[in-house]
C-alpha cells in the first residue's frame, strides 16, 4: 500500500503561488547591532506589547519576580486573561488547569519569605496532551483515552514542576501525534493565530498556537516526524527538536518509540533552549535516554552587545539542495535563501550540500512510524483504562473499543503498520525501511562532518487552510518531507521564523530549519539566537493578539 508513496508523488502537489515577502525588508548592517539592547535588558512588564526582537520570556519573568517588579500572580493573570480571550478563536487547549493562580500565589508567598526560586519559577508552561500529567486529563487527543488521568507525571513535566514551572494546561494535537494539522484531534480543531481559517500545523498544533498567541510562555510538544518543527514554522514560533535520547520519553504516550522525542516551543531561541535544558538528561525510567552530560545551554545566549561584526565567522553552513526542489513554495524557498544570505552576513560560509537519500526518508518514515504505532497502540484495548465498550464476547470488546476509540488517521496507520510487519511482508517493508534509515543516518553524518549546521525549510509551504488536505492523506504525508529525515537520523533541529509569505491579514510566517550533529543542540541554539537577534524588521507577533492589544 505504501509503495505508492515511493517515489513521493507529493512534491508536485504543493501550491506554487507567487509569494511576496512581507515585512521582510533588508538585513540591517551588523555594525549597528551594538545599539540593540541585550536580551537581559529587554525585560518588559507588558508581554502584550512585545519588543521587535524576540526576547526571553523566561529570563524576563525571573528578572521581574526577583526585582519584585511584578508578582507571579500578576504575570499569571495577564496570561490567563489573554488565554480566555483568544481561546474561543484558537481552541488550542483541551484542558486548562484551575490551579495556575493558586500556584502563582504560593510562589509569591515564597518570594515574600525570600526563599530560593527555581530557574523556571513562575514560568507558564503548556503541555501537549500526549504527555502525562498526574493532575490533569491526558488524552493524546483520542476518544480512546477520553477522561483518562494518568497516575504520574512524565519525567519532563516533573522536572519543569521541580524547577518552579507552572503547567497551564494541556494542548490540542492530532490524535496520538499522527497528523500535520491538528485537525486529527478527536475533540476540536485548533486555528492558526496568524489566520484563524488556517491550520496551526501539527501534530503539536495546540502547543505552537498557544505560544504564538502568548497564551503561555513556553510549551512542550512531541516530534516524531516534524510535529514540533512544522507547527513552529506555521505559527511563527521557535521549535526545538532535541537529539533522540536527550530528553526522557517516560510519560510521553508512544507513537513511534524509535523516533519520538519531546520538544520545546518558545517565543525566542533562548526560551526554547532554557526549557530544553530544564528537561534534558538521563532518566533511569527510559532505557533509551542518553547518559551524556547536558552542557550548560544557557551559556550559548550571549548578549548581542558583546558580539563583533561577524559573530559566526568561519561557521560552515550546508543548505540542503533537495529541500529547495520543485514542490516547495517559492515564497518559502526565497525566505530560506534570504536566511542563508543573513547567515553569510554573520560570517558563515554557506554551501549547498546534496543528500541523495533525502527523498527516501518519507516512505521509510511512514513504514517505520506506522509499524511501531501499530504495536504501541495495542495497549488501548479498553480493558484497563480508557474507552471501554461493553460486549458479550472478548473479540467484540476489542473490536468495538478500538473501532469507536480511534479516529480514521490512527486506524489508517495501525493498518499500514500491521501490514508492514506481517509475515511475508516484513522483509520488503519494515526491514528495507530500516536499511534506508541506516543510509540516511550515514549521509547526514557525512554532511555534518563537512558542515557545522545544515539548513532547510521546516515545511514546503506556510500554513494552509483548515480542511484543505483533509481528504488527501498522501498530500499531507508529503508535507513532512523536510522533517522526517531528521527523526530517522535522530539528530537535533531548531526551527525559527525567518520571514513571511503572503496570506492572512498580516502574512504567514516561514520557518528555517537548522540541523545539527547529535547532541550538539548548543551550537544550534547559539547560531539560532544570533540569527534571531540580528534579523531585522521581522515581528513575529500574530495579528490575533496584536489586534486585541490595540482594541
Q: Give the active site residues.
A: 128, 203, 227
Quote the CA–CA distance of 135 and 153 in Å, as a whole number: 8
Taking CB under 8 A as the binding criterion, the range among 145-153, 299-307, 340-348, 530-538 that sits at the site for other proteins is 145-153
Task: Determine, following the binding rule CB under 8 A, whether residue 392 of this chain makes contact with other proteins.
Answer: yes
Query: What minimum distance in Å lies between the beta carbon of 170 and other proteins?
Result: 13
Classified as helix, coil or strand, 128 is strand
Q: Phi-psi bin for 247: left (phi > 0), alpha (psi -120 to 50), beta?
A: beta
Q: Which is nearer to other proteins, 380 or 500 (CB)?
A: 380
- Alpha helix locations (H) across 124-204? 155-162
Q: Which parts of 132-204 fold into alpha helices (H)?
A: 155-162
**Side-chain-side CA neighbours of residue 1 (13 Å):** 15
According to DSSP, the residues that pair with 126 across neighbouring strands are 169, 219
Q: How far is the CB of 146 from other proteins (least distance, A)?
A: 12
Assess contact for 33 and 307: CB atoms under 8 A: yes
Kindly state whether residue 329 participates in binding other proteins, applying the rule CB under 8 A. no
Cα–Cα distance for residue pair 199/205, rounded to 1 Å? 8
Q: Mask 396-435, x = binds other proteins (CB under 8 A)? A: -xx-------------------x--xxx--x---x-----
- Mapped onto helix, strand or coil, the DSSP state of residue 477 is helix
Beta carbon of residue 394, minimum distance to other proteins (angstroms, whole number): 4
Q: Which of 68, 44, 170 is nearest to 117 (CA)?
A: 68
Q: How far is the CB of 419 from other proteins (least distance, A)?
A: 10
Per rule CB under 8 A, is residue 383 in the interface with other proteins?
A: yes
Query: Given candidates 2, 167, 232, 254, which one binds other proteins under the rule CB under 8 A?
Result: 254
Question: Contact with other proteins (CB under 8 A): which of 121, 160, 178, 253?
Answer: 253
Residues across the chain: 551
List, in sequence order, the alpha helices (H) in 91-182: 100-112, 155-162
Options 27-35, 78-86, 200-208, 251-259: segment touching other proteins (CB under 8 A): 251-259
Q: Any idea what DSSP says for residue 11?
A: G
Kindly state the smallest distance separating residue 385's Cβ from other proteins, in Å. 6
- Determine the 3-state secondary structure of 131 from DSSP: strand
Omega of the bond prior to 7 within 30 degrees of 0, cis? Answer: yes
Nearer to other proteins among residue 392 and residue 449 (C-beta): 392
DSSP code of 218? E
Min separation Cβ 18 and other proteins, Å = 44
| 3-state DSSP helix/strand/coil % of the chain, to nearest 5 | 45, 15, 45
- 138 binding other proteins? (CB under 8 A): yes
The alpha helices in 131-268, defined as continuous H runs, are 155-162, 205-212, 229-235
In angstroms, the CA 103 to CA 109 distance is 10
131 vs 324, which CB is nearer to other proteins? 131
Residue keyed to cell 550515514 = 442
Q: Interface with other proteins includes 252 (CB under 8 A)?
A: yes
Q: Which C-beta is closer to other proteins: that of 31 or that of 287?
A: 287
DSSP per-residue codes, 496-515? EEEEEES-TTT-EEEEEEEE
Q: Whole-number minimum distance, CB 160 to other proteins, in Å? A: 15
- Residue with smaller CB distance to other proteins, 69 or 284: 284
Q: Which of 63, 89, 388, 412 binds other proteins (CB under 8 A)?
A: 388
Look-up of cell digits 532554557: 274
Question: Nearest distance from residue 165's CB to other proteins, in Å?
Answer: 19
Task: Please pick, from the candidates 188, 330, 375, 470, the single residue that binds other proteins as defined by CB under 8 A.
Answer: 375
Site string for other proteins, 269-288 (x = CB under 8 A): ---------------xxxxx
Stretch binding other proteins (CB under 8 A), from 72-80, 193-201, 248-256, 311-319: 248-256
Q: Pick from 143, 94, 89, 15: which is nearest to 469 by CA?
A: 15
Residue 101 or residue 421: which is nearer to other proteins going by CB?
A: 421
Burial of 471 (0-12, 13-18, 19+ CB in 10 A): exposed
250 binds other proteins (CB under 8 A): yes
Comparing CB distances to other proteins, the nearer of 148 and 349 is 148
Interface residue with other proteins among 136, 145, 247, 495 (CB under 8 A) is 145
How many whole angstroms separate alpha carbon 224 and alpha carbon 412? Answer: 17
Q: Considering the rule CB under 8 A, would residue 75 count as an interface residue with other proteins?
A: no
Among 17, 258, 536, 539, binds other proteins (CB under 8 A): 258
Burial of 166 (0-12, 13-18, 19+ CB in 10 A): buried
The 108-137 contact track toward other proteins, x by CB under 8 A, reads -----------------------xx-----
Alpha-carbon distance of 533 to 103, in angstroms, equals 33
Quote the cell numbers at residue 231: 507547527
- Give me the least distance between CB of 414 and other proteins, in Å please: 11
**Total of residues contacting other proteins (CB under 8 A):** 50
Q: CA 414, CA 418: separation in Å to the nearest integer?
A: 6
Interaction of residue 152 with other proteins, rule CB under 8 A:
yes
Q: In whole angstroms, how close is the CB of 223 to other proteins at the nearest point? A: 16
Give residues in contact with other proteins (CB under 8 A): 131-132, 138, 140, 145, 148, 150-152, 154, 249-254, 256-258, 284-288, 371-372, 374-375, 377-381, 383-385, 388, 390, 392-395, 397-398, 418, 421-423, 426, 430
Amino acid at each position: 500500500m505504501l509503495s505508492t508513496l515511493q517515489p513521493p508523488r507529493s512534491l508536485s502537489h504543493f501550491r506554487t503561488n507567487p509569494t511576496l515577502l512581507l515585512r521582510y525588508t533588508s538585513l540591517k548592517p551588523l555594525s549597528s547591532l551594538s545599539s540593540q539592547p541585550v536580551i537581559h535588558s529587554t525585560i518588559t512588564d507588558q508581554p502584550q506589547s512585545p519588543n521587535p526582537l524576540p526576547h526571553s520570556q523566561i529570563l524576563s519573568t525571573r528578572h521581574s519576580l526577583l526585582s519584585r517588579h511584578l508578582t507571579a500572580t500578576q504575570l499569571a493573570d495577564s496570561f490567563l486573561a489573554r488565554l480566555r480571550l483568544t481561546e474561543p478563536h484558537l481552541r488550542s487547549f483541551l484542558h486548562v488547569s484551575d490551579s495556575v493562580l493558586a500556584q502563582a500565589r504560593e510562589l509569591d508567598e515564597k518570594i515574600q519569605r525570600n526563599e530560593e526560586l527555581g530557574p523556571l519559577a513562575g514560568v507558564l508552561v503548556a503541555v501537549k496532551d500526549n504527555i502525562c500529567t498526574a493532575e490533569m486529563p491526558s488524552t493524546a487527543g483520542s476518544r480512546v483515552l477520553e477522561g483518562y488521568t494518568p497516575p504520574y507525571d512524565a519525567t519532563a513535566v516533573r522536572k519543569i514542576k521541580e524547577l518552579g514551572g507552572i503547567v497551564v494546561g494541556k494542548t490540542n494535537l492530532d490524535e496520538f501525534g499522527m497528523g500535520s494539522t491538528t485537525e486529527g484531534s478527536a475533540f476540536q480543531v485548533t486555528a492558526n493565530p496568524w489566520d484563524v481559517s488556517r491550520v496551526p500545523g501539527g501534530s503539536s498544533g495546540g502547543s505552537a498556537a498557544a505560544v504564538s498567541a502568548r497564551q503561555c510562555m513556553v510549551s512542550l510538544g512531541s516530534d516524531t516526524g516534524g510535529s514540533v518543527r512544522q507547527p513552529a514554522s506555521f505559527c511563527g514560533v521557535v521549535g526545538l527538536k532535541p537529539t533522540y535520547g536527550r530528553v526522557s520519553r517516560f510519560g510521553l504516550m508512544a507513537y513511534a518509540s524509535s523516533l519520538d522525542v519531546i520538544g520545546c516551543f518558545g517565543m525566542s531561541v533562548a526560551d526554547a533552549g532554557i526549557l530544553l535544558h530544564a528537561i534534558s538528561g538521563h532518566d533511569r525510567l527510559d532505557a533509551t535516554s542518553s547518559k551524556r552530560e547536558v552542557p550548560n545551554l544557557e551559556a550559548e545566549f550571549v548578549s548581542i552587545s558583546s558580539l563583533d561584526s561577524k559573530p559566526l565567522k568561519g561557521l560552515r553552513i550546508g543548505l540542503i539542495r533537495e529541500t529547495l526542489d520543485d514542490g516547495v513554495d517559492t515564497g518559502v524557498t526565497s525566505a530560506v535563501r534570504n536566511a542563508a544570505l543573513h547567515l553569510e552576513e554573520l560570517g558563515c560560509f554557506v554551501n549547498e550540500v546534496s543528500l541523495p537519500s533525502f527523498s527516501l526518508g518519507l516512505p521509510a518514515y511512514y513504514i517505520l512510524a506506522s509499524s511501531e504505532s501499530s504495536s504501541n497502540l495495542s495497549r488501548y484495548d479498553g480493558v484497563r483504562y480508557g474507552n471501554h465498550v461493553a460486549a458479550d464476547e472478548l473479540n467484540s470488546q476489542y473490536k468495538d473499543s478500538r473501532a469507536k476509540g480511534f479516529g480514521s488517521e490512527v486506524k489508517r496507520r495501525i493498518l499500514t503498520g500491521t501490514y508492514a510487519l506481517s509475515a511475508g511482508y516484513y522483509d520488503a517493508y519494515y526491514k528495507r525501511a530500516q536499511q534506508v534509515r541506516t543510509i540516511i543516518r550515514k549521509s547526514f553524518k557525512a554532511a555534518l562532518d563537512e558542515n557545522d549546521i545544515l539548513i532547510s525549510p521546516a515545511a514546503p509551504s506556510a500554513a494552509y487552510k483548515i480542511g484543505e488536505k483533509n481528504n488527501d492523506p498522501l498530500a499531507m504525508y508529503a508535507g513532512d518531507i523536510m522533517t522526517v529525515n531528521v527523526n530517522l537520523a535522530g539528530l537535533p533541529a531548531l526551527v525559527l521564523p525567518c520571514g513571511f509569505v503572503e496570506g492572512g491579514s498580516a502574512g504567514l510566517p516561514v520557518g528555517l530549519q537548522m540541523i545539527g550533529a547529535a547532541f550538539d543542540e548548543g551550537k544550534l541554539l547559539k547560531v539560532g539566537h544570533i540569527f534571531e537577534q540580528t534579523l531585522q524588521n521581522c515581528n513575529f507577533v500574530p495579528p490575533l493578539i496584536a489586534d486585541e492589544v490595540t482594541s
